Amino acid sequence: MAMRSFGAIAAREGSRRRREAAQKKKKAEREVKSLLKRYDSNNSGVLEKDQIVKFLTDLDDGGKGVPPTDGEIKWVLKQAGSADENLDPDEILPAVQAWQTYKQNSSFIEAVFQKFDTDKNGKLDRDQLKLLLQELDDGNEPTEAEVDWVLQCADEQDGDKDHAIDKTELMYAISLWFTHVDEKRSSACCIL
């Protein structure tokens, strides 16, 4: 009897979860249709570059209406999984999520660049990145290989191969570094 009760409970729970997932999907589809209706001014079924600029400018959470840079647009397209310079309907919500996360971290990103981008060119070169990584690791200096690894991973992630960290790459680079430092510390504990 207990097994039948469990089976019935599991079936009801599975059914409830499927309904919730279907409702979420329908809500997301309505959001995408609404966004396309608002920004797809030529009714092409996708958001093109000028439409993406307007779309992201309107999403700017500070209400400042600051248009995204070309680099930020490129980054949003990549994060959304776009294979071209447009946002297809299935790429719009991932683009929203990427842009909002980026903008939520903008004051932190600006503070890092204010401190470490000493030549004010909008990128952290190898030496500037090394100082940032050292500060993030409580003063422990990263090896040359570690700095090169972070730069290489960031270049592979955004595809620009410039051997520098721009604002859109910063959070990714920091996440890589923290994960690496944590792994290094946990493996050092095991060796002792």
pLDDT of residue 48: 96
Mind listing the pLDDT tens digit of every residue in the chain (192 residues)? 455 577 777 778 778 788 887 887 788 788 889 989 999 999 999 999 999 999 999 887 555 678 898 989 998 998 899 999 999 999 999 999 889 888 888 899 999 999 999 999 999 999 999 999 999 999 999 999 999 999 999 888 777 778 999 998 998 899 889 888 888 877 765 544
pLDDT of residue 43: 95
pLDDT of residue 192: 46
pLDDT of residue 118: 97
Is residue 151 within 8 Å of 158, Cβ to Cβ?
A: no
pLDDT of residue 136: 93
- CB-based contacts of 68: which residues, under 8 Å, 6+ apart? 52, 53, 56, 57, 76, 99
Q: Which residue blocks in the chain are alpha helix, DSSP H?
A: 2-39, 49-59, 70-80, 89-104, 106-116, 126-136, 144-158, 167-191
How far apart are the C-alpha atoms of 53 and 128, rounded to whole Å?
A: 30
Three-class secondary structure of residue 59 per DSSP:
helix
Handedness of CA 153, 159, 163, 169 (dihedral sign): negative
